[in-house]
Amino acid sequence: MANYSYLMVPESVDKAITAAVKEFAEGRKERYDIWRHGLPIWIVSERADKRVNQVQIEAVIKPGKSVAEPLEQQVVFTPGAYEDERAYEEKTALNAITRKVPSAEDVHKAGEGEFLSLAEAEDKEKVKDKLTSSLQKASKLPLEETLPPIQYATPFQ
């Protein structure tokens, strides 16, 4: 797995990524979230039936391959996916949600090569291209792991 630290991005990079994410998601009528709690994170999600494919964008600092190599500042695009199966038990009024997800290894492999330098991330078209390729990779991730179900009582289905 990659070893990295999070990076505060220059305002110009933040604005470019934010504009690209909004244009991309709104143009495809997909959901996007932008978090600014400390460090910025952008997420674009596309729904395909029960499955949700998504890309998480973060700015990171990665160490070089050796101590002599400089640190690399990158904007990484991590593909992911999940599928929720809902069940309602009328007798007990319990809703149960079971989520299927890809393995961490599959996510890591799918994300290899999905990054831009900070300078490249100022180009909205390059960001949109990475979003497109990352969502394509997300759509191909096998959902092989099942998380423990979440259950909650509710009178509504």
Residue 89 lies in a domain: no
Q: How far apart are CA 6 and CA 37, in angstroms?
A: 13
Q: What is the pLDDT of residues 71-81, one digit of tens each?
A: 778 899 999 99
pLDDT at 3 over 90: no
Contact 79, 102 (CB under 8 A): no
Residue 86 lies in a domain: no
Residue 67 lies in a domain: yes
Q: What is the pLDDT of residue 157?
A: 59
pLDDT at 2 over 60: no
Contact 9, 59 (CB under 8 A): yes
Contact 140, 109 (CB under 8 A): no
Q: What is the pLDDT of residues 89-111, one digit of tens each?
A: 877 888 888 999 999 999 999 98
Beta bridge partners of 5: 61
pTM (predicted TM-score):
0.82
Count up the domains in the chain and report the number: 1
Q: What is the pLDDT of residue 4?
A: 57
Reading the block at residue 42, the tokens are: 């952008």
Residue 23 lies in a domain: yes
Q: What domain range includes position 114? A: 5-81+103-142
Question: Can you tell me which residue has the tokens 């029960």?
Answer: 50
* pLDDT tier, 1 (very low <50, low <70, confident <90, very high otherwise): very low
Q: What is the pLDDT of residues 21-57, one digit of tens each?
A: 999 999 988 899 988 776 788 999 999 888 999 999 9
Residue 26 lies in a domain: yes
| 119-124 mean pLDDT | 93
Rg for the chain (alpha carbons), in Å? 18
Q: What is the pLDDT of residue 124?
A: 94
Residue 69 lies in a domain: yes
Q: What is the pLDDT of residue 142?
A: 96
Residue 62 lies in a domain: yes
* pLDDT tier, 88 (very low <50, low <70, confident <90, very high otherwise): confident
Mean pLDDT of the chain: 87
Residue 122 lies in a domain: yes
